Amino acid sequence: MESLSHTLGPVFNKHSRVLILGTFPSAKSRESHFFYGHPQNRFWKVLATLTKSSLPSTIEEKKALLLQNGIALWDVIQSCDIEGSSDVSIRNVVPHDITLVTANAPILHIYANGSKAYDLFHKYCENPSKLPITKLPSTSPANASYSLERLIKAWSVIL
């Protein structure tokens, strides 16, 4: 069990209308210095398909895909104890102040990437603007019960 702090800032701008929240960067994401860095995670495939964009490969391309489509991205957790990339192992959570995004972008809705992000948001985060939050199926490779097609259909609500 490692005690880790989040090193990635939120991605958003004045055009961001939706905020997608994950839990905490996976080991591969921490290695690649950006969100959803595991090659088997379907996050970028889902977003590229929904936005009719090319699949981004660089950090700059990923940020551009988000920002050009009114999407903000961050994680619920600022620091925690975690084993590898296991959301199940998360302990001693210190949450991010989500208002850093919601007070500085015209966010209309929050979407949680998976049950764990949704549950942690409700347990730890302040939501003074009372923005609605919707739980979406996780794009993680651990969520093998969801095919890419099912994920795309479920995630289409973000548009």
pLDDT digits (tens, 9 = 90+) for 7-28: 999 999 999 999 999 999 999 9
Query: pLDDT tens, 81-101?
Result: 999 888 889 999 999 999 999
pLDDT at 50: 98
Which pLDDT belongs to residue 54?
A: 98
pLDDT, tens digit, 9 for 90 and up, residues 127-144: 888 999 999 999 999 999
Where b means 16+ CB within 10 Å and e means fewer, 59-89 reads eeebbebbbebbbbbbbbbeebebeebebee
